[in-house]
């Protein structure tokens, strides 16, 4: 095997998803980089400094504050009306004795995003001032794992679906708070795209983990595992495996390579599959009209929307609430089998399947948000009211558990034996990371 040494101007990287050792050339502003074997993005778009990220994060935080200053939505039918604020959605779930759903709603839409934004602002201010602020490493370490759980964009779709469900039954008025929430969500998404984690981590804790003699003898045709290297999933630092399994840069603890993660993923998938049964058998909401209650399951809601002529919305709910959860469980089960039985062929296709599964899982939360909005907004006494059903809790648990299952799965197991590049004939092991 030939050995390629990294140039002095390059940074040594280890791909999180296929364990391929590589080098990162100097990036011009706006250039990102991906793994040449599995195409995983190993470096986001480079930024000149943290000033743009700081500006967008500040704008998003200010707009988030405005969400609580005005009315969110208002509802009226036959002279009876009700106006809700954003917090009313969580309060209504508490009133129906679903505190876990209320916490989930607040955490994913405003709680965790607020933590993310203010922590990012704190870190950017410290890097911009050239100061090492207390707690900076701990904050930076927890920020990236939060990103899949920031669901303000999913909540907006849920609100729109809820409004279409009842627009023929009542007059709906959109408040300034909803507009502020939409702007806040766009600003939050833009902030994600501007965070250059490599530059940010260099400002918080400069990388100096691998000694020069270790770098000199690295073989870029072999995996990191075969050279006793691991990659930190918090700061992307490659480091030699140590007894404590901790990153020397940020002190995050990591599990070494092994099949234990597959067993954990299997357990979570089985739990999600069991909970998926009551999520579809029991009603997810109940509509009370003139004192008569009409329970509605997930499938019943899809059929009702289709019968009312709202085919696009019915399709959205069907895909998000029926197709996506089942597809995610099946796809993750297939990947677990591939990892356990060593089905290494088409590893790139399996990795792409994993990425799709990981990305779309959060959108199943639409139905939970629809129930929260309708349960808070549609309150007209005995004339009309909508109450959450027991299936809402089961379905929310399915979504959360399948998301955790995807995050626990180790895609590096799909690429073993990792030193054999014939699993992807288009890959050239001596090819550096390709900037985009």
Exposure class string for 175-206: b at 16+ Cβ within 10 A, else e: bebbebbbbbbbbbeebeebbbebbbbebbbe
**What is the structure's pLDDT at 79?**
63
**What is the structure's pLDDT at 189?**
94
**What is the structure's pLDDT at 420?**
45
Burial (CB < 10 A; 0-12, 13-18, 19+), residue 8, is exposed
Residue 435: beta bridge partners?
Answer: 33
Q: How many angstroms separate the CA atoms of 269 and 325, rounded?
A: 10
Q: 100 Cβ partners below 8 Å, 6+ apart?
A: 393, 396
3-state secondary structure of 304: helix
Structure tokens at 84: 């809700």
| Region of poorest pLDDT, from 2-11, 75-84, 205-214, 351-360 | 2-11
CA 394 to chain centre: 20
Unique residue bearing structure tokens 């004339």: 383
Contact 140, 203 (CB under 8 A): no
E strands within 25-141? 33-34, 41-43, 73-77, 80-84
Average pLDDT over residues 97-110: 91
Contact 201, 236 (CB under 8 A): yes
Q: How many angstroms separate the CA atoms of 250 and 237, rounded?
A: 9
Unique residue bearing structure tokens 């508490």: 94
Structure tokens at 293: 């209650």
**What is the structure's pLDDT at 422?**
40
Strand order of the β-sheet with 384-388 is: 292-296, 285-289, 384-388
Contact 29, 7 (CB under 8 A): no
Closest CA to 287 of 385, 380, 382, 369: 385
Q: How many angstroms separate the CA atoms of 270 and 276, rounded?
A: 10
Average pLDDT over residues 24-40: 85
**What is the structure's pLDDT at 22?**
83
Exposure class string for 51-68: b at 16+ Cβ within 10 A, else e: ebbbebbbbbbebbeebe
Residue 252 has pLDDT above 90, yes or no: no
DSSP state of 434: E
DSSP state of 34: E
Residue 380 has pLDDT above 60, yes or no: no
Residue 214: Cβ within 10 Å count? 16
CA 63 to chain centre: 22
Q: How many angstroms separate the CA atoms of 151 and 290, rounded?
A: 35
Please write the tens of the pLDDT for every residue from 390-428: 899 999 999 999 999 999 898 888 887 644 444 443 333
Closest CA to 391 of 304, 272, 275: 275
Q: What mean pLDDT is reported for the chain?
A: 82
3-state secondary structure of 233: coil
Closest CA to 285 of 393, 172, 158: 393
Q: How many angstroms separate the CA atoms of 91 and 84, rounded?
A: 10
Closest CA to 370 of 174, 157, 183, 176: 157
Closest CA to 102 of 118, 83, 82, 86: 86
Structure tokens at 417: 């034996």
Please write the tens of the pLDDT for every residue from 69-103: 888 888 776 666 678 888 888 888 888 888 999 99
Its pTM stands at: 0.85
DSSP state of 109: I
Contact 36, 21 (CB under 8 A): no
Closest CA to 173 of 48, 74, 43: 74
Structure tokens at 367: 């139905």
**What is the structure's pLDDT at 425?**
38
Q: How many angstroms separate the CA atoms of 399 and 403, rounded?
A: 6
């Amino acid at each position: 095997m030939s050995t390629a040494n990294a140039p002095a101007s390059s940074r040594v990287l280890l791909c999180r998803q296929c364990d391929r050792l590589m080098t990162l050339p100097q990036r011009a502003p706006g250039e990102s980089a991906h793994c040449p074997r599995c195409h995983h993005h190993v470096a986001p778009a480079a930024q000149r400094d943290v000033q743009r990220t700081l500006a967008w994060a500040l704008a998003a935080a200010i707009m988030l504050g405005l969400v609580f200053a005005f009315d969110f939505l208002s509802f009226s039918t036959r002279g009876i009306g009700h106006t809700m604020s954003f917090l009313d959605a969580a309060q209504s779930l508490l009133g129906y004795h679903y505190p876990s759903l209320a916490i989930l709603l607040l955490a994913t839409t405003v709680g965790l995003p607020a933590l993310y934004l203010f922590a990012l602002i704190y870190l950017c201010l410290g890097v911009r001032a050239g100061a090492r602020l207390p707690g900076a490493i701990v904050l930076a370490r927890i920020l990236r794992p939060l990103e899949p759980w920031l669901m303000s964009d999913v909540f907006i779709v849920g609100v729109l679906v809820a409004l279409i469900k009842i627009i023929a039954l009542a007059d709906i008025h959109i408040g300034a708070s909803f507009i502020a929430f939409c702007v806040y969500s766009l600003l939050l998404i833009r902030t994600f795209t501007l965070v250059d984690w490599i530059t940010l981590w260099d400002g918080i804790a400069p990388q100096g983990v691998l000694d020069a003699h270790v770098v000199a003898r690295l073989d870029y045709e072999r995996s990191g595992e075969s050279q006793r290297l691991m990659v930190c999933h918090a700061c992307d630092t490659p480091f030699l495996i140590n007894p404590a399994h901790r990153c020397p840069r940020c002190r995050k603890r990591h599990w070494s390579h092994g099949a234990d993660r597959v067993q954990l993923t299997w357990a979570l998938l089985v739990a999600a599959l069991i909970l998926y049964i009551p999520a579809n058998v029991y009603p997810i909401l109940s509509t009370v009209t003139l004192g008569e209650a009409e329970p509605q399951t997930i499938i019943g809601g899809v059929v009702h929307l289709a019968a009312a002529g709202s085919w696009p919305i019915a399709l959205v709910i069907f895909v998000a609430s029926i197709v996506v959860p089942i597809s995610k469980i099946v796809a993750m089960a297939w990947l677990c089998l591939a990892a356990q039985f060593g089905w290494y062929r088409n590893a790139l296709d399996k990795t792409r399947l994993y990425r799709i599964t990981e990305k779309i899982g959060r959108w199943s939360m639409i139905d939970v948000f629809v129930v929260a909005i309708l349960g808070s907004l549609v309150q007209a006494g005995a004339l009309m009211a909508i109450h959450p059903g027991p299936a809402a809790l089961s379905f929310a648990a399915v979504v959360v558990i399948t998301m955790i299952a995807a995050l626990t799965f180790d895609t590096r197991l799909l690429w073993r034996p990792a030193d054999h590049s014939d699993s992807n004939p288009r890959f050239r092991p001596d090819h550096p990371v390709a900037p985009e």
